[in-house]
Chains A and B, each alone.
Chain A
Amino acid sequence: MRLEAENIIVELGEREALKGVSASFQPGAFTGVIGANGAGKTTLLRALAGLAPLQSGRISLEGEPVDSFDRKETARRVGYLAQKQEPAFPFRVDETVMMGRYPHQGRLSPETEADRAAVDAALRGVDAAGLAARAINELSGGELQRVLIARTLAAQTPVLLLDEPFANLDVRHCLDILEILRAQAREGRTVVVSVHDLNLAHRFCDHLLLLYEGEILAQGDASDVLTRRLIEKAFQVHAEILTVNGKDERYFILRALEERE
């Protein structure tokens, strides 16, 4: 499903967090949103999920404005996982992931076979099938994060928006989740993820969107966006780019400006 933002302006209190952002996210593409703290990554993802009221502009899915859908209709199309840690009450892991099925369920209707199958698949997908019967308040930060990603996947939405889903994950699970999200994109889903780690962003994302002070500084192929000039401007650091194997594999070495010799 094609997801588009047209010239959106979002205010947070008195501050304009997004100052007229336009972007288009295509089915099958894995897009990374990068930028410094406060650049507007979270606000952009929230706005795309229909969770941040727009001052002006428009968000549309396949050409239809998102605000013409009710919450449940939106949640059947767009899955969103916030970066902020949620309060963890002692629900079981499988119960928590089942909550992702909410937009597909009627008010009093029981859980269906399809619901259970989606929950199982999502749990297996994040390597958390063994956690199913545990209480979520007793999980480690990384385990909980994987369970919440499973909850988002369980909704089986054509669009996936995840805000910094790797923050609490160890290296292996971080890479696993990236593989899973890339596979979701290969299956035709529209996947947008905010990423801090430029190395991961370059390696996994087809498309990058670089935000700087509420505006898009650059967007396009990962290699076009992650140039030394753009990185130094957007992150206010000193950047060095290492090219390995002659061409496409790049590593970014970043130093604080003061550290520069």
Chain B
Amino acid sequence: MRKYALTAGLFAAAFLLAALSVRLGVADIASEKIFKVILSELGLISTEGMGVSMQERAIVWHIRLPRTLTGAFVGASLALSGVMLQGLFRNPMASPVVVGVSTGGALGATSAIALGLGAASIWAVPISAFGGALLTVFLVSLVASHKGHTPLGALILCGMAMNAIAGALTTLVLSYSVSDFEIARQILFWLMGSLTNRTWEHVILIAPFFAASGAAAAFFGRELNLMMSGEESAMALGVNTAQTKAWILIIAAAAAGASVAVAGVVGFVGLLVPHIVRMLAGPDHRKLLRLSMMAGAVFVMGMDLLARTLSPAGEIRLGVLSASIGGPFFLYLIVKNRARAETF
């Protein structure tokens, strides 16, 4: 039973946080009304004459619910991406950041905002972010590959270089935009990472990528385990390592890219969550993939709820909070486990 305790616990936590996230806010809307709104939006009941105001309906259905779902998908996607990359690189330091997903996405989004595309369509910024993220990962693996071989060390180094380049270009775009206060403000907020004002469009954008990458990842549990024993051993045991590496990169990039597209740069989730889950559940990726996704959703929903509660006006951004709480907690874990830190 202990086998399923973690799954059940995470499931319960995810459900509870989702419920709290929809229930809590500046406007106090009773749980009963929330149920009515959701059921009526799903076409199951009619709320006419039930005492639910238009405003309450809008808050629940158009503000809180999409925000909650976006948060869950973002957390799950980032953690999925992180756990796959950590497995691939056999390194707990790996995260979506190392292969350039985050900075590439930031550059894409920043450029779109600076060009004024944000006003043109609600899709413009997320799609540019997603494009930037995937393009960066593609360039990183292209540069790191030689004669069909992609050494993992080269991949990390190219990722670092590409991070520096994309980071510099983002700063450049930001400097040019400083004269326009509104644009600069949007860029800065985007870079801080947030779930404020997320709509169903954001949910629709990330949901298919999350579903596809989560489903695809399930096929690579065994391969990830085998890759942990080293690339040549994995090959000798029958793993097509070149193909596996390519798939893992694509899946991890798509998942993290989609979450960068809808929530901006939310740091640390992809690094911290898989790390904690690995400590609790061991190294088997067939479990880790699933548990990390659930834990990621729990973490981001929890952080967002905390950010909202601490500062209803939104000064405390999700990205800031997740790094400032996650960072010290991560350090605590390292200190606590220092004796066996090298055991991953």
Query: Judging by beta carbons under 8 Å apart, are B229 and A102 in contact?
Result: no
Option from B90, B218, B219, B229 in Cβ contact (under 8 Å) with A99: B229
> How far, in Å, is A38 (CB) from chain B's closest CB?
19
A86, B284: Cα distance in complex, Å:
17
Interface string of B323-344 (1 = CB under 8 A from A): 0000000000000000000011
Given A82-B233, A102-B226, A107-B219; A90-B238 close (CB under 8 Å): no
The verdict on A99 contacting B225 (CB below 8 Å), with A72-B240, A91-B284, A137-B343 known, is: yes
Q: Which A residue sits closest to B239, measured CB to CB?
A: A71
Bound Cα distance A99, B224 (Å)? 11
Q: Are A91 and B225 in contact (CB under 8 A)?
A: yes
How many chain B residues touch A (CB < 8 A): the figure is 23
Among A73-81, A165-173, A247-255, the stretch in contact with B = A73-81
What is the 8 Å Cβ interface bit string for chain B, positions 217-249, against chain A (1 contact, 0 not)? 011001001101110110111111100000000
CB distance from B156 to the nearest CB of A (A): 16
Do residues A82 and B236 form an inter-chain contact, with CB atoms below 8 A? yes
Residues in A whose Cβ lies below 8 Å from that of B344: 89-90
Residues in B whose Cβ lies below 8 Å from that of A102: 222, 226, 237-239
B238 to chain A, nearest CB (A): 3
In the complex the two chains form, is A105's CB within 8 Å of B225's CB? no
Does A103 make an interface contact (CB < 8 A)?
yes
Least Cβ–Cβ distance between B279 and chain A, in angstroms: 10
**B230 touching A72 by the CB < 8 A rule?**
no
Cβ contact within 8 Å between B238 and A108: no
Most buried by A among B233, B237, B241, B282: B237
Which one of A87, A91, A155 lies within 8 Å of B237 (CB-CB)?
A155
Q: Are B230 and A105 in contact (CB under 8 A)?
A: no
Q: Does B283 contact A (CB under 8 A)?
A: yes
| Contact indicator A82/B283 (Cβ below 8 Å) | no
- Flag whether A100 is at the interface (Cβ < 8 A): yes
Closest chain-B Cβ to A59's Cβ sits at a distance in Å of: 14
| Residues on the B chain within 8 Å of A33, using CB | none
Q: Chain B residues with Cβ under 8 A from A74's Cβ?
A: 238
A127 at the interface (CB under 8 A from B): no
- The reply to whether the CB of A8 lies closer than 8 angstroms to some CB of chain B is no
Tell me if B226 and A99 are in contact (CB < 8 A).
yes
| Given A51-B235, A95-B284, A102-B239, A108 contacting B343 (CB threshold 8 A) | no
Residues of A within 8 A of B225 (CB): 91, 95, 99
Give the CA-CA distance A71 to B239 in the complex, in Å: 6
Interface residues of A in 145-178 (CB under 8 A from B): 151, 155
CA distance A200 to B273 in the complex (A): 50
List which A58-76 residues lie within 8 A (CB) of chain B. 70-72, 74-76
- A49 contacts B by Cβ under 8 Å: yes
**List of B residues within 8 angstroms of A137 by Cβ:** 343
Interface hub of B228, B229, B343 (most chain A Cβ within 10 A) = B229
B236 touches A51 (CB 8 A): yes
Complex CA distance for A49 and B240, rounded to whole angstroms: 14
| Pairwise interchain contact A103-B232, C-beta atoms closer than 8 A | no
A87 to B225, CA, bound (A): 12
CB contact list, B128-158 vs A, under 8 A: none
Contact across chains for B228 and A87 when beta carbons are under 8 A apart: yes
Given A87-B230, A89-B344, A95-B284, the answer on whether A100 and B219 have CB atoms closer than 8 Å is: no
What is the CA–CA distance of A74 and B241 in the complex, to the nearest angstrom? Answer: 14
Chain A residues engaging chain B, CB cutoff 8 angstroms: 46, 49, 51, 70-72, 74-76, 79-82, 84, 86-91, 95-96, 99-100, 102-103, 105, 107-108, 137, 151, 155
Known: A70-B240, A89-B229. 12 other contacts (CB 8 A): A74-B238, A80-B236, A86-B229, A87-B228, A87-B229, A89-B283, A90-B344, A91-B282, A91-B283, A99-B229, A102-B238, A108-B219
Please give me the 4 A-B residue pairs with the lowest Cβ-Cβ distance, nearest first: A75-B238, A103-B238, A80-B236, A72-B238
- A sample of 18 cross-chain residue pairs with beta-carbon separation below 8 angstroms, ordered by A number, consists of A46-B232, A49-B236, A51-B235, A70-B240, A71-B235, A71-B241, A76-B238, A88-B343, A89-B344, A90-B283, A91-B283, A91-B284, A99-B226, A99-B229, A99-B237, A102-B226, A108-B219, A155-B237
